[in-house]
Structure 1
Amino acid sequence: MATPQQQTQGMLDVLIRAGLIAVLAVFCYRVFRPFLDLMLWSLILAVTLYPLHRRLKAYMGGSDARAATLLVLIALVLLLVPIFMFAESLAESARNSIAAVRSGAWRVPPPVESVASWPVIGNAVYGFWEQAATNLTGALQKFAPDLKEMSLNLLAKLASMGASMLIFFGAIIVAGIIMAYGEAGSRNAVLIATRLAGPDRGAGLAALCTATIRAVAQGVVGIAFIQMLLIGIGFIAMGIPGAGLLALAVLLLGIMQLPVTLITLPVIGVVFATRGVTSATITFAIYSLIAGLSDNVLKPLLLGRGVDVPMPVVLIGALGGMVVSGIIGLFIGPVLLAVGYNLFWQWVDDQPLPPVDDHPHDA
């Protein structure tokens, strides 16, 4: 039997080891933190695209490297063109807006008399609106500090969006490297899950995480991205002002599980009001409506292949991820929260049932 001194020494050894492990874990996290979003995004893309990689592998002589390289090249080509078009549209919209304000071509219509009768704020709104209609520059000078701060914030967001796109392209390349070692990675994932959950539940835990990632990435983020591409290309082809911003709004609504017709219907109305009813505007309207409703066809095909995840979980993940990590978090947040949600409920459901009394006593 150990003496009190030996017990104290043993406890001290355990605390020292735990402290050293904690220090090492914190140090490793700080070193890895700049690459965390990139690696998470790469892992999500690799898990999502791996079934397609396996199909390509059968046509590439069984080579994982060639199949992964071809898949990465296809993804980059398919994404670079529309993203470049959207970026150009955003830049063109910004240039046109600045030029219109400087030249005085952009004018505010005068207010109607009924605005002044609005309760509480009517007179103030009417006065500012009337001044903006007659002297826009003077009206804007009152809010110059606020407008400057808003402009700086907008530029910061645009810069962050550009950095996110670069990280996204880097994540596609890293995902290709992960897929090239997909079989070994799959075995390692099962080993890690087995170490965490035990030999009886390890394989099931890894399968649940994989199914959840694919379900959300394909059925939520993937569908929103497809809708953004379809609708954005239509807006750009029709010459809609601010097509890039509208396409980004479509992406946000799609991930948040809101109908993108909130954007397509007003745009169609504006097109008919400004350009009249022609064969081009009718074709644009039909195309935009079909693209806006395409999620009703894509969701049963993509989301039904995985596990069910409540839409509020996806919405909270998208909003929270965007607050924490910007545009990158908009994609990563729903996936990670869905994985955590399913793991939590598996842990809740995976518990022994209470014993059944075969001979209940009479009251």
Structure 2
Amino acid sequence: MAMNTPRAARLIGIAALAGLAIACLLVLRPFISSLLWAVILAFSTWPLFAFLRERTRLSPSFAAAVMVAAMFLLVGLPIVLAAPTRREEIEALSTSIEGLLTEGLPGLGAWLAGLPVVGGWIRTWIGDAEFDLLGLAGLLRPHTGTITQQAVAVLLAVLSGIAELLLAIFLAFFFYRDGPAIAGRVKALMGRLGGETGIRMLRLAASVTRGVVWGLVGTAVAQGALTAIGLWISGVPQPLLLAVVAGVISIFPVGAPLVWIPASLWLLTQGQTGWGIFMALYGGLVISSVDNVIRPWMIARGADLPLLLTLLGALGGVLAFGFLGLFLGPVVLAVGFTLMLEFAGGAEDGPEAPSALPPAAL
């Protein structure tokens, strides 16, 4: 019995540590998503933080506060700029909404029916119907309960996402301030768990994350520029401001359509049916296609991974984990792909990830 005492004590200690780890996860569970976002924000903007400290000689805490304040401004400023503030803008917006509700989209049905090739089929399908939103509301009235529940769910999801983003920006302060120390401990832990392979996987994950960030930035710039071109051609007021808003919110899966869809509807309410249809087609076929082309290409280029692997990782990650999966998906597939190459004896042909951790941690 005495021989089993050390083993029993060790098992009890392991069980206690496992219980403590589970308890810690339960405590942190509501904040895991925000913590991961904070890590991504701090890591992706670390070169800017290091440049700020080098140029201004600020302390880590003060430089971190400057970075966090800049992020809050970056999130809030487009919302403030996009919101109508002048009396004339508010009255014009109110008039447009009232006209859309009462008059619908006059002439749109006749215009669609007059299209070549498909016009006859459209005329047979819609008849003499006009796009009257009040009439549509009457048809949807029996389903008001379901529509209301879905609308509330979407609103709560949006508010939850905004709150999560704001919390992540706040938490990023601590990762800026203590970044080198945290990175050093993570590197030591990975080295202890996996040796050189663990450290290499950590650097690969950092490289893929940086590639995803570059993909997001490239997508934002491209969608902002394409939105500006489309709005300017269509004659929508303030195309540059709306393009900036579209670029900022394009980091979300349905970001840019929140700009060009209302712009298309506004053109239709102004009687500019052709330009409204053009804006809708341009937005759906040109602006939104950037997500499927530029973003995967830049992610694969930044992380030095096969394009197909990156594309599947980004799309599958979003489906599995939500928007956070845009980062987690490529990282998981990249690490798994590299481990498979090493297991098969082909590590020398695998992607070489440059060191992307804070310099002080290396």
Q: 1:106 aligns with which of 76, 80, 104?
A: 104
Q: Does residue 338 in structure 1 map to residue 330 in structure 2?
A: yes
Alignment correspondent of 2:354: none
Counterpart of 1:73 in structure 2: which amino acid? Answer: A
- 1:82: Cα distance to partner? 1.3
Q: Does residue 182 in structure 1 map to residue 174 in structure 2?
A: no
Counterpart of 1:54 in structure 2: which amino acid? Answer: A
After superposition, the Cα gap between the structure-2 partners of 1:143 and 1:201, relative to the gap in structure 1 and judged at 3 Å, is same
- Which has the greater radius of gyration? 1
Counterpart of 1:214 in structure 2: which amino acid? Answer: R
Q: Does residue 304 in structure 1 map to residue 307 in structure 2?
A: no
Q: 2:38 aligns with which of 39, 42, 46?
A: 42
Task: Indicate if the aligned counterparts of 1:218 and 1:303 stay in contact, CA closer than 8 A.
Answer: no
Name the CA distance, whole Å, in 2 between partners of 1:298 and 1:160.
Answer: 24
Alignment correspondent of 1:22: 18
Q: Does residue 222 in structure 1 map to residue 217 in structure 2?
A: yes
Task: Indicate if the aligned counterparts of 1:227 and 1:251 stay in contact, CA closer than 8 A.
Answer: no
1:206-264 C-alpha deviation (Å, 9 max, x unpaired) = 21121111111222x333344555566785993499x79x9499555699xxx99xx69
Bigger Cα displacement from structure 2, 18-27 vs 188-197: 18-27
**Number of positions where the alignment pairs a residue of Structure 1 with one of Structure 2:** 313
Task: Indicate if the aligned counterparts of 1:60 and 1:66 stay in contact, CA closer than 8 A.
Answer: no
Q: Secondary structure at the match of 1:238?
A: coil
Counterpart of 1:318 in structure 2: which amino acid? Answer: V
Name the CA distance, whole Å, in 2 between partners of 1:176 and 1:201.
Answer: 30
Alignment correspondent of 1:164: 161
Task: Indicate if the aligned counterparts of 1:224 and 1:254 stay in contact, CA closer than 8 A.
Answer: no
Show structure 2 runs of 5+ residues with no match. Answer: 114-118, 347-362
Matched-pair identity in %: 19
Q: Secondary structure at the match of 1:143?
A: helix
Name the CA distance, whole Å, in 1 between partners of 2:82 and 2:213.
Answer: 22
After superposition, the Cα gap between the structure-2 partners of 1:70 and 1:230, relative to the gap in structure 1 and judged at 3 Å, is farther
Task: Indicate if the aligned counterparts of 1:53 and 1:179 stay in contact, CA closer than 8 A.
Answer: yes
- 1:144: Cα distance to partner? 2.1
Alignment of 1:1-363 (within 5 A): 5=1, 13=9, 15-61=11-57, 63-85=59-81, 99-100=98-99, 104-106=102-104, 133=130, 140-198=137-195, 200-219=196-215, 221-227=216-222, 238-239=236-237, 247=246, 251=251, 274=272, 304-308=301-305, 310-322=310-322, 330=323, 332-351=324-343, 353=345
Counterpart of 1:56 in structure 2: which amino acid? Answer: L
- 1:160: Cα distance to partner? 1.9
Task: Indicate if the aligned counterparts of 1:193 and 1:203 stay in contact, CA closer than 8 A.
Answer: yes
Name the CA distance, whole Å, in 1 between partners of 2:274 and 2:140.
Answer: 37
Show structure 1 runs of 5+ residues with no match. Answer: 323-329, 355-363
After superposition, the Cα gap between the structure-2 partners of 1:34 and 1:298, relative to the gap in structure 1 and judged at 3 Å, is closer
Name the CA distance, whole Å, in 1 between partners of 2:91 and 2:310.
Answer: 39
- 1:204: Cα distance to partner? 1.8
- 1:59: Cα distance to partner? 0.4
After superposition, the Cα gap between the structure-2 partners of 1:41 and 1:134, relative to the gap in structure 1 and judged at 3 Å, is closer
Alignment correspondent of 2:355: none
- 1:196: Cα distance to partner? 2.0
Compute the TM-score of the two structures, normalised by the length of structure 2.
0.65
After superposition, the Cα gap between the structure-2 partners of 1:139 and 1:153, relative to the gap in structure 1 and judged at 3 Å, is closer
Q: Secondary structure at the match of 2:77?
A: helix
1:321-342 C-alpha deviation (Å, 9 max, x unpaired) = 33xxxxxxx1x21111111111
After superposition, the Cα gap between the structure-2 partners of 1:93 and 1:226, relative to the gap in structure 1 and judged at 3 Å, is farther
Task: Indicate if the aligned counterparts of 1:42 and 1:171 stay in contact, CA closer than 8 A.
Answer: yes
Name the CA distance, whole Å, in 2 between partners of 1:92 and 1:315.
Answer: 42
Name the CA distance, whole Å, in 1 between partners of 2:254 and 2:226.
Answer: 12
Bigger Cα displacement from structure 2, 298-307 vs 344-353: 298-307
After superposition, the Cα gap between the structure-2 partners of 1:337 and 1:93, relative to the gap in structure 1 and judged at 3 Å, is farther
Compute the TM-score of the two structures, normalised by the length of structure 1.
0.65
After superposition, the Cα gap between the structure-2 partners of 1:144 and 1:184, relative to the gap in structure 1 and judged at 3 Å, is same
Name the CA distance, whole Å, in 2 between partners of 1:36 and 1:201.
Answer: 26
Q: Secondary structure at the match of 2:207?
A: helix
1:10-44 C-alpha deviation (Å, 9 max, x unpaired) = 66555544443333332221111111111010011
Alignment correspondent of 1:357: none
